[in-house]
Structure formats: C-alpha cells, structure tokens
C-alpha cells in the first residue's frame, strides 16, 4: 500500500517549503492565521482555551483596568466625590471606592455625592454584576470542559513483531478517570519533491488493534510493517528524505463526563528509534496491585 496521492485529511497537499511539523507537541496544529480583524476575535473562546496563567492574567488585568478607568472618571466629576479621611491620596481613594462599588462590597466609609458620581457608581455596579457573572461562567466552563490528558512516549520505535518488524508508540492516561472505547489512527505524511511544487502524500496506516475497550494501563499501538505497509523497505535515511511525519489521532469516551474526548500528537522522522523496543512500564506490587509507572513510559531496550 502506497500513500494516496488524492487523499487530504485537512492539512493540504500543497507544500511550498519545509514544514517544521504538522502537529505541535501540545496537540495544536502548526497553523497560524494572518489577516484576521478585531471582530474575528472571540474573547470567550480565547479564555476557555487559554492556559491557566493566561486566564488569570486577563482576569486580574481586566479587574485593575476597569477600576483604574472608573477611578479617573470619579476624579473628573469633582472634589465632592468621596470623603478624604481615609489617609490615601485622591486617586487611591477613588480607586478603592471603585473596587468597593464594582464588587458591591460597599463598606460605607466612602460614598459618592451629587448626581454624576452616583450615576457612575450605578453603571459600575451593573458592570460588576455582569462581569463577575461572566467570569464565574468562564471559570465553570474551564473546569467542566472534558479533555484528554494522554501521555505519549517520547519516541516511536521500529521493533520486531511476529517475525517481521513494526512501528510502535505507547500511550497512557495521566488522569485517574476512566477512558473507554479508545480508537487510534496513524497518518503517514510524506513530501514528494520533483520538478513542480512539493506535494504532501498521506497514508492511513493499518494497526494491529485500532481499538481497545479501556485504558487503565499503557497501550502500545502497533503498525505491522508487512507487504501492505508503505514503510516496507524504508530506512531512516529514506524517511528523512521524504520529510516523514506520523500524525497521531486518539479518540476515547470519558466515563466521568460521558463525552467523547480527543488527543493529537505527531512524531517526526528523527523521533523514530530503530531496532529498539519498549521496556515494561508497570509491575505487580506485594499486595497484588498493578502499578503503572508513567515516568517509564518512554523507557527503551536496545536490540
């Protein structure tokens, strides 16, 4: 079986240069979009997908910025805005009055006077109620969003398999939840260069087992390199010339959330180790329990 020249999984067959990799180690696609306008930016999606440090940074900066703006507005309304017996300068007093108003704390030692400061405080209180409701929804959405934390071995290996060789990688669930009905796919991507523009070819590799029922331990995904394999007869130098990359797609059912989750990964040609096999990553302890050692998932034996 040779890579199909008319098959495109969604990563395009046109290759105008040497691609660093199609899928990054964190599972994201190596695609960056230019020409976007500000109206195309979705703050909700960004805050749901952002890392926790970025999420908290946006929340804290937004909170400080809103209070800084309203503090300046309060000062513009006049000197009768707040009492001045707090021991702080005027801007600091206005800033903390804004904090009290935005959070609806209202200690009572500072209060607005006249119509305009009261109007500003009413607007800020409304913004605070809506803003904290939105932040709470985002916080819950991040916690309740199902996701897979699957650990992939650092390298693929070409190892013996039933009298022939095989391409293998290993995965394990990093969380304590139960993943069921797992399905694995390997797309073999190569670059074909000639007189015209480079072309990417893809092949869906056949697996020894495409599915397992559950993943309490590790799973070694095996592609037999038989007569039907596009890898038959290829060497490490051949994979390098073809700029080969193996795109990994994992799908599973999360028993905790009762939803399907996905994980993506890829191995470049220089991340394939030849004539090696994986060492055991689990053992039976004295009580008869199986112990999975996640830090040994990538341990190899050289043949």
**Confidence band for 85, pLDDT divided at 50, 70 and 90:** low
Residue 211's domain spans which residues?
A: 150-302
The 10s digit of each residue's pLDDT in 145-197 is: 888 889 999 999 999 998 899 999 999 999 888 899 999 999 999 888 877 77
Who's near 18: CB < 8 A, 6+ residues apart?
A: 191, 243
Q: Are residues 124 and 228 both part of a single domain?
A: no
> What's the pLDDT at 24?
81
**Confidence band for 84, pLDDT divided at 50, 70 and 90:** low
CA dist., res. 26 & res. 28, Å (int): 6
Lowest mean pLDDT among 46-60, 83-97, 121-135, 267-281: 83-97
Q: Are residues 207 and 135 both part of a single domain?
A: no
Q: Are residues 162 and 274 both part of a single domain?
A: yes
The 10s digit of each residue's pLDDT in 226-253 is: 999 999 989 999 999 988 999 999 999 9
> What's the pLDDT at 113?
77
Q: What's the number of domains the chain is made of?
A: 2
Give me the mean pLDDT over the 108-114 stretch.
74
Q: Are residues 269 and 172 both part of a single domain?
A: yes
The 10s digit of each residue's pLDDT in 197-218 is: 788 888 899 999 999 999 988 9
Which whole-number Å values give the CA distances from 272 to 9, 229, 230, in the listed order?
23, 16, 16
> What's the pLDDT at 183?
95
Residues linked to residue 160 through DSSP beta bridges, in sequence order: 165
Which residue's entry shows tokens 């070819």? 201
Does some domain include residue 187?
yes
Q: Are residues 290 and 181 both part of a single domain?
A: yes
Average pLDDT, the chain: 86
Does some domain include residue 196?
yes
Give me the mean pLDDT over the 256-277 stretch.
91
Q: Are residues 243 and 103 both part of a single domain?
A: no
Does some domain include residue 165?
yes
**Confidence band for 30, pLDDT divided at 50, 70 and 90:** confident
- What is the reported pTM? 0.77
Q: Are residues 232 and 279 both part of a single domain?
A: yes
Structural domain ending residue among the three candidates 80, 110, 144: 144
Q: Are residues 103 and 161 both part of a single domain?
A: no
CATH number at residue 282: 2.60.40.1400
CA dist., res. 195 & res. 295, Å (int): 47
Does some domain include residue 121?
yes
Does some domain include residue 26?
no
Structural domain ending residue among the three candidates 92, 113, 144: 144
Rg for the chain, CA atoms, rounded: 28
Q: Are residues 160 and 179 both part of a single domain?
A: yes
Q: Are residues 202 and 165 both part of a single domain?
A: yes
Q: Are residues 284 and 157 both part of a single domain?
A: yes
Q: Which SS3 state, helix, strand or coil, does residue 176 take?
A: coil
């Amino acid at each position: 079986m040779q890579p199909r020249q008319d098959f495109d999984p969604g990563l395009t067959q046109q290759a105008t240069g040497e691609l660093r990799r199609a899928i990054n180690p964190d599972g994201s696609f190596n695609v960056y979009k230019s020409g976007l306008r500000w109206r195309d930016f979705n703050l909700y999606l960004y805050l749901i997908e952002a890392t926790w440090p970025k999420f908290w940074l946006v929340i804290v900066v937004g909170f400080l910025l809103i209070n800084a703006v309203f503090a300046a507005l309060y000062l513009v309304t006049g000197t009768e805005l707040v009492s001045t017996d707090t021991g702080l300068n005027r801007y600091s007093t206005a800033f903390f009055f804004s904090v009290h108003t935005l959070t609806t704390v209202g200690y009572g030692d500072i209060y607005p006077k006249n119509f305009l400061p009261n109007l500003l405080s009413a607007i800020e209180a409304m913004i605070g109620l809506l803003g904290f409701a939105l932040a709470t929804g985002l916080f819950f959405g991040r916690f309740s969003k199902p996701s897979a934390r699957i650990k992939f071995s650092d390298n693929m290996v070409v190892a013996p398999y039933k009298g022939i060789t095989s391409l293998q990688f290993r995965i394990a669930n990093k969380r304590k939840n139960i993943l069921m009905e797992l399905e694995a796919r390997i797309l073999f991507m190569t670059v074909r260069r000639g007189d015209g523009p480079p072309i990417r070819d893809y092949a869906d590799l056949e697996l020894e087992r495409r599915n397992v029922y559950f993943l309490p331990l590790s799973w070694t995904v095996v592609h037999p390199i038989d007569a039907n394999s596009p890898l038959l007869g290829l060497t490490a130098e051949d994979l390098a010339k073809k700029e080969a990359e193996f795109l990994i797609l994992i799908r599973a059912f999360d028993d905790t959330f009762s939803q399907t989750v996905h994980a993506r990964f890829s191995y470049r040609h220089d991340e394939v180790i030849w004539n090696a096999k994986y060492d055991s990553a689990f053992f039976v302890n004295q009580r008869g329990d199986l112990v999975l050692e996640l830090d040994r998932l990538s341990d190899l034996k050289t043949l």
